[in-house]
Structure formats: structure tokens, C-alpha cells
């Protein structure tokens, strides 16, 4: 590598700094008012047009670092990629030392590439989508803040640093989801996302504290570590896992792992902490693509990968819990997506379902498969969300697919790229989703046939509901009332770029074409759960998995075509036959109703208990003190009569009382 690449590779600490400087420049520049010497009018110090320039420049520089990191990774031996870690002291108290720094390994290269590449395209798309919005510059400032938070999380060298940026990502998400805060639904959605994520983050924090408590002496002894490495460093987790598995009981190991997993449960919208994700679609569509398809929700899976050595030492408790959480999430998300009429919410539940696939893979020990699907999913799901934004923009903010149809003619680029994304997420015809999803299914078949059967059926359901959204939106006759505008060229360019990796990235990284395979670099897995790489297509089991998954997906496409394109069957009849299941789907498994009941019932019960406690305990104690004080006051008033004989009698009774008390305590 030349000096240019060396600079970007050796200065990764600049990657989160770029968007932070962009955010500060936009915030200060837009808040500072200057007076024009000619007109006397007050204007912002930073013109609005500079906001996207600063944000995209910062992200573009980060992408150059990512490209250098990819070159570095491919230059490493496949069998032993040597991670590069740089730390600076953050907090120091005696032997306790926390550091902040950058960790360059296969995992961070993966996420760094996704975050910078997809973010840059979405920011360019945002210019077309938001350029007439009053908060245009502020929105780009929030995008820069989110990028700073996400990149700091990706490059974190230790768990405390990751938790700090994890919380910043949550704050950024809150600001972006509620960007149109004048809409009650958007304000409520941002608050809901914040509160639900706090539930998971609280468990995550407790898990970190438990892990620290039971491993502090080990870290302070730097067992197996170089002294300059940080406390709770990811580089030391494999050695720490060996120590913990020998010294802690299995139930405690499982408890720590599940508590840490609570963070990804909320951030990656795993059942039952998933309810915030569909509501978050109230934010601008670019945010749906950036946060809720490609980056933020993927942070939970990335965290599982980082702490995988700790999770893997609980094969009988934590791993099954994670597996079945992912399986349930995948199924529930797919079932709910079938009945959605809002195009963005259908894609949101699709995201939830695909995240379930990734989490289930991690629980099965298929570490490579989960990360591979995270990588491919980022491209085609970001493209699908941006396509939905193009449709909504062209249809004058209409999001109901029942008011669409026949849009392929007026939105050909959007329609074609949406079709490519639909094929990819369905895992058809060797597109990117085929390689990554089938690797998960192959691992499931090896580890747990029940999980394999459920996930395979869910993959078929994915093809059904995704082609349903395509047919309802782009095929047939137009059913809406809005005037459909032509495509915005600024908005369609990112779609065309994302279509390329959506088709080919899985094939390129499969090892099937002679290039280095994805799994050659992402190598960590459980010893009893060997990885199943897509380039082993000649393996009989993988052929079986691939053939069955293709068949199931094609059945899903055929059924969707019969219902929504050819209209051979009427959906009303099916709804009646499958009424219980359809009601579950349409009412989102009643999770929002359950939570509303718990919150409202809990708040009501607590308020009643508080009222009773205040009335009978707090007020009772205060009244008792007042009554006793009043009685004593009256008694003292009667004694203070001014008569000598009264005072003598009082003194006499007092002396007798003291003598009796003395006799009872010391003589009795």
C-alpha cells in the first residue's frame, strides 16, 4: 500500500471525528446569526447548502478509510487475520483503567464498509427527498451525529466504550425518528423507541457490571493480555471466556450472557422488544433506510458477534435462548408483514424478520452465517426502503399500497430496483440473499432440524409478502387519487448503485468465483458447530438446503402472484378460513395492546397505591405527630399554672418516677 492508503489505515481515530466535526459545524453555524452589512438582515453564519456538503464529505472520508481497511484485510493470511488495536487512556483509578481506541479486524472492516458506503448513498438521496423541508440543514446535522455515534460503536475496542456509543446511537435515533415532531405520531414514535430501547439497555448495563464484577481481578492481572490493552477489551474475551467457564457456575454464565443480549434484543427489534421498529417509520424515509435497515438495527447483531466468546460458553442456557428468540422474531415478523398495507411498515416487519434470521444464526453458533446475512441484507434492504421513499415522494406522501398500483410505468427505475431487492431478500436465483440466507439454513439443518424447518417455512413466507408488496405497488392499475410525479434523478441514482451489490455481492464473497470467501476472514465459531460456507456447494447437504429453499421461495412467489397479480384467488375467502391467524397478523400479535394494558394498568395501580400510602401512612404519621404535640402542649400549659404547690408536686412526682425507673432497670 502507498502512503495515501497507509494514512487512512493508520489513522482510524479520524473516522468518527469527521462526522462529529460536521455535526458541530452545522449546529454552531446554523445557530449563530450574522448581520448582512448591505441589507441589515440577520442570517445564519453557515448557509444551508453547506450542511449536506459537510456531512457527505465526512462520510466520504470515512469510506476512504474503509477502502484502505478492505485492502489491509485482503492482504492478510486467510487463516490468521491479525487484528490491530490502538488505545488511549480514558479513565484511570489505581489499577482500574478504561481506555478508548480503535480496533481493526474482520468484523470492524465489515461494519465500517456498510456504515460509510450505505450512509453516503442515503445522504445523497436525502438531498433529493428533503431539500424542500424547513429542517433540511438540521436533518443533515442529525445524520452526522448518528454517523459519529455508529462509527464510534463499530471501532470500539472494549465493552464500556461500545456502551457509551451505544447510548449515543439511541439518542441519535430518537432525534431522527421524531424529526417531524409537530406530528403527534412521530413524537410518540420517537418516545416509544427511546423507552423500549432503555429496557434492553438497562439489562445490557447490568450484564456489563456483572461481567466486570466477576472478571475484575482477572483483568487487573492482565492474564494473557498485553499490559496496554483496555479493561473488558474484545481482544481478551476468548481468554476471559476460558477463565470464566472454569470458575463460574453454568447458571451464572448464562445469566450474564442473556443480560448482555438484552441490549441487542431491543436495538435489533427482537420479540418482544420489537414494537418500536414499525412505529419508527413515522420518521423521514431516509432514516428508515439508514437506521432501521442497514446500520442501527444491525448494531445488535454486531454486538453479539463482539461478545460471542462470552455467549458461547453457555451452550445450554444462553445459546438456546438466543436461537429461539431469533426464530420467534423471524416468524412473528413475517406473519405480521403479510397483512400490512403501509409499504414502509411492511418493510419494517420484514427487517424484523431478517434480523431474527441473523440472531438465530448466532445462537446456533453459525457466527459467519449471521454476519454474512447482516452484510448482504444491508444493501438490498436499504435499497428497498429508498425505493419506498421514491414511491411515497412520487405519490404525494401516500404510503397505503391499496392506493397504489401500476406504478412501474411511471417509476421504471424504482420499480426495477424494487424488484431486484425483492428477489434478493427472497433468496432467489443466486442473488445476494441466496448465499447468506442459505448458509443460515445449512447451519440450522446441521444443529437443529426444528429450527431449520421453521426458518425454511419463514423464508417461503418472506417471498410471499415481499412479492405482495411489489404487485400491490407496481403492477396492475393505479388505484390512488394522487397525481403521480416522475422519478427524481437525485433519488434514483443511489437505487441503481445499491442494486449492484444486491445482485452480486453474495456471489463475489461466496468463494464460488475464485475470490477470497467471506467466511475465510470471519472465522470464529463454536467448536461443535462447524461453519457451512456457500462455496461448498458440491456438498450434498448444502445442495439439499439450496434446492429446498429455492423451491419454498418459488412456492411463495407463485402464491403471491396468484393472489395479487393474476387474482386467481380472493383474499377475503382466505381471511375467513384463517381468521384467527389473520387477526393475529393484522393486530400485530396484540403486543401493543398488551404493553398499553401493562403500562396503563401499572400506572393506575401505582397511582392508587401512592394515593393510599400518602393518605394513610404519610398523612397519618404527620397527623399523629401533630396530635401528640398538641396534647403535650395542653398538658404543659396546665402544669404551668404559677402556683408553688403545683410545681412542688410535679418535682416530687418526677423524683418518684425516676427512682421507680431506676429500681426497675437496675435492681429488678
pLDDT digits (tens, 9 = 90+) for 83-136: 888 888 887 766 677 888 899 988 899 899 999 999 999 999 998 888 888 888
Cell (9 digits) for 308: 460471542
**Alpha-carbon gap, residue 216 to 228, rounded angstroms:** 16
What values do phi and psi take at 99, rounded to 5?
-130, 160
Is there a domain that residue 190 lies in? no
The count of other CB atoms within 10 Å of the CB of residue 604 is 10
Whether 551 and 627 share a structural domain:
no
Asked if residue 650 belongs to a domain, the reply is yes
651 within a domain of the structure (yes/no)? yes
Domain that holds residue 525: 379-586
Whether pLDDT at 75 is above 70? yes
Looking at the domain assignment, is residue 494 inside a domain? yes
Q: Does 170 fall in a domain? A: no
458's grid cell: 419463514
More confident residue, 216 or 55: 55
Q: Does residue 533 have a pLDDT over 50? A: no
Claim to verify: residue 423 and residue 559 sit in the same structural domain: yes
354 pLDDT more than 90: yes
Residue range 403-409: average pLDDT? 90
> Where is the domain boundary, 555, 586, 617?
586
C-alpha–C-alpha distance, residues 452 and 425, integer Å: 18
pTM summary value: 0.86
Q: Take residue 586 and report the three cell numbers written for it.
A: 393484522
User: What is residue 541's predicted lDDT score, i.e. its pLDDT?
Assistant: 47
| Whether the Cβ atoms of residue 405 and residue 478 lie closer than 8 Å to each other | yes
Residue 287 lies in a domain: no
- Looking up cell 403471491 gives 560
Same domain, 473 and 398: yes
Pair (510, 422) in one structural domain? yes
Same domain, 540 and 480: yes
Q: What is the mean pLDDT of the chain?
A: 84
Q: How confident is the model at residue 325 (pLDDT cuts 50, 70, 90)?
A: very high
> Is the domain of 556 the same as that of 408?
yes
For residue 665, pLDDT over 90 is answered with no
Does 439 share its domain with 404? yes
Report residue 651 as a C-alpha cell.
Answer: 418535682
Residue 488 lies in a domain: yes
| pLDDT of amino acid 423 | 95
DSSP per residue over 87-119, as a string?
EEEEEEETTEEEEEEEEESHHHHHHHHHHHHHH
Residue 414: in which H helix or E strand, if any?
Answer: helix 412-425
- For range 138-146, the mean pLDDT: 92
- The reply to whether 393 and 470 lie within a common domain is yes
pLDDT for 526: 42
Rounded to an integer, the average pLDDT of 424-446 is 89
CA 320 – CA 241 distance, rounded (Å): 18
Number of domains in the chain: 2
The CA distance from 129 to 341, in Å, is 22
Choose the final residue of a domain: 586, 611, 641. 586
Identify the residue with better confidence: 415 or 640. Answer: 415
pLDDT category at 495 given cuts 50, 70, 90 is very high
- Which of 570, 586, 602 finishes a domain? 586
> Which pLDDT belongs to residue 1?
54
Q: Same domain, yes or no, for 422 and 558? A: yes
In a domain, 300, yes or no: no
Q: Can you read off the three cell numbers belonging to residue 214?
A: 466477576
Separation of alpha carbons 663 and 661, rounded Å: 5
608: exposed, middle or buried (Cβ count in 10 Å: 0-12, 13-18, 19+): exposed
Query: Average pLDDT for residues 264-274, to the nearest whole number?
Result: 90
Mark residue 590 as left, alpha or beta (left: phi above 0; alpha: psi -120 to 50; beta: remaining). Answer: left
Are 545 and 434 in the same domain?
A: yes
Instruction: Please tell me whether the peptide bond between 272 and the residue prior to it is cis, using omega within 30 degrees of 0.
Output: yes
Q: Which of 218, 223, 146, 224 is nearest to 179 (CA)?
A: 146
Mean pLDDT of 613-638: 74
Residues 553 and 609 in one domain: no
Q: Based on the domain organization, do 523 and 413 belong to the same domain?
A: yes
Task: Give 593 or 125, the one with higher predicted confidence.
Answer: 125
Amino acid at each position: 500500500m502507498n502512503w495515501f492508503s497507509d494514512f487512512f489505515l493508520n489513522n482510524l481515530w479520524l473516522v468518527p471525528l469527521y462526522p462529529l466535526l460536521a455535526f458541530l459545524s452545522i449546529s454552531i453555524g446554523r445557530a449563530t446569526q450574522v448581520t448582512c452589512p448591505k441589507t441589515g438582515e440577520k442570517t445564519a453564519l453557515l448557509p444551508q447548502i453547506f450542511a449536506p456538503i459537510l456531512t457527505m464529505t465526512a462520510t466520504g472520508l470515512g469510506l476512504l478509510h474503509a477502502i484502505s481497511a478492505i485492502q489491509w484485510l485482503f492482504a492478510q493470511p486467510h487463516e490468521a487475520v491479525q487484528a490491530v488495536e490502538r488505545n488511549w487512556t480514558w479513565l484511570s483509578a489505581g489499577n482500574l483503567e478504561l481506555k478508548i481506541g480503535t480496533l481493526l479486524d474482520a468484523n470492524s472492516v465489515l461494519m465500517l464498509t456498510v456504515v460509510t458506503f450505505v450512509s453516503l448513498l442515503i445522504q445523497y438521496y436525502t438531498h433529493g427527498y428533503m431539500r424542500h423541508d424547513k429542517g433540511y440543514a438540521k436533518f443533515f446535522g442529525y445524520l452526522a451525529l448518528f454517523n459519529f455515534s455508529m462509527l464510534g460503536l463499530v471501532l470500539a475496542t472494549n465493552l464500556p466504550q461500545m456502551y457509551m456509543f451505544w447510548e449515543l446511537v439511541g439518542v441519535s435515533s430518537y432525534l431522527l425518528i421524531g424529526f417531524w415532531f409537530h406530528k403527534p405520531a412521530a413524537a410518540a414514535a420517537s418516545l416509544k423507541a427511546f423507552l423500549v430501547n432503555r429496557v434492553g439497555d438497562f439489562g445490557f448495563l447490568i450484564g456489563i457490571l456483572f461481567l466486570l464484577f466477576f472478571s475484575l481481578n482477572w483483568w487487573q492481572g492482565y492474564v494473557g493480555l498485553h499490559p496496554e490493552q483496555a479493561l473488558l477489551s474484545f481482544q481478551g474475551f476468548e481468554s476471559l471466556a476460558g477463565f470464566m467457564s472454569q470458575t463460574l457456575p453454568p447458571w451464572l454464565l448464562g445469566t450474564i450472557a442473556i443480560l448482555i443480549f438484552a441490549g441487542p434484543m431491543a436495538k435489533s427489534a427482537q420479540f418482544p422488544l420489537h414494537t418500536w421498529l414499525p412505529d419508527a417509520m413515522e420518521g423521514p424515509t431516509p432514516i428508515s433506510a439508514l437506521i432501521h435497515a442497514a446500520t442501527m438495527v444491525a448494531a445488535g447483531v454486531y454486538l453479539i458477534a463482539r461478545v460471542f466468546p462470552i455467549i458461547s460458553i453457555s451452550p445450554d442456557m444462553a445459546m438456546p435462548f438466543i436461537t429461539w428468540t431469533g426464530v420467534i422474531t423471524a416468524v412473528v415478523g413475517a406473519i405480521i408483514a403479510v397483512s400490512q398495507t403501509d409499504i414502509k411498515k411492511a418493510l419494517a416487519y420484514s427487517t424484523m424478520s431478517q434480523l431474527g434470521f441473523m440472531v438465530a444464526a448466532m445462537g446456533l453458533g453459525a457466527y459467519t452465517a449471521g454476519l454474512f446475512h447482516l452484510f448482504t441484507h444491508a444493501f438490498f434492504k436499504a435499497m428497498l426502503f429508498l425505493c419506498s421513499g421514491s414511491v411515497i415522494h412520487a405519490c404525494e406522501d401516500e404510503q397505503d399500497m391499496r392506493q397504489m398500483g401500476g406504478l412501474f410505468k411511471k417509476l421504471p427505475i424504482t420499480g426495477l430496483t424494487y424488484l431486484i431487492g425483492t428477489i434478493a431478500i427472497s433468496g432467489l436465483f443466486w442473488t445476494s440473499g441466496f448465499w447468506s440466507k442459505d448458509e443460515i439454513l445449512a447451519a440450522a439443518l446441521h444443529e437443529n432440524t426444528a429450527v431449520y424447518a421453521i426458518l425454511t417455512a419463514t423464508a417461503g413466507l418472506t417471498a410471499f409478502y415481499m412479492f405482495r408488496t411489489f404487485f400491490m405497488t407496481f403492477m396492475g392499475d393505479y388505484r390512488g387519487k394522487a397525481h403521480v410525479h416522475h422519478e427524481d434523478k437525485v433519488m434514483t441514482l443511489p437505487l441503481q448503485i445499491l442494486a449492484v451489490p444486491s445482485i452480486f455481492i453474495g456471489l463475489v464473497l461466496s468463494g464460488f468465483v475464485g475470490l477470497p470467501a467471506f467466511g475465510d476472514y470471519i472465522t470464529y465459531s463454536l467448536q461443535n458447530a462447524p461453519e457451512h460456507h456457500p462455496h461448498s456447494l458440491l456438498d450434498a447437504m448444502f445442495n439439499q438446503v439450496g434446492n429446498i429453499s429455492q423451491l419454498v421461495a418459488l412456492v411463495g412467489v407463485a402464491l403471491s402472484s396468484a393472489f395479487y397479480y393474476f387474482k386467481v384467488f380472493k383474499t377475503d375467502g382466505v381471511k375467513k378460513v384463517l381468521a384467527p391467524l389473520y387477526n393475529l397478523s393484522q393486530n400485530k400479535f396484540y403486543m401493543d395492546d398488551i404493553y398499553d394494558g401493562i403500562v396503563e394498568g401499572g400506572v393506575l395501580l401505582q397511582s392508587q397505591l401512592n394515593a393510599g400510602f400518602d393518605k394513610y401512612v404519610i398523612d397519618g404519621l404527620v397527623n399523629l405527630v401533630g396530635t401528640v404535640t398538641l396534647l403535650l402542649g395542653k398538658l404543659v400549659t396546665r402544669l404551668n399554672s404559677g402556683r408553688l404547690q403545683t410545681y412542688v408536686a410535679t418535682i416530687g412526682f418526677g423524683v418518684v418516677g425516676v427512682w421507680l425507673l431506676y429500681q426497675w432497670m437496675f435492681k429488678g
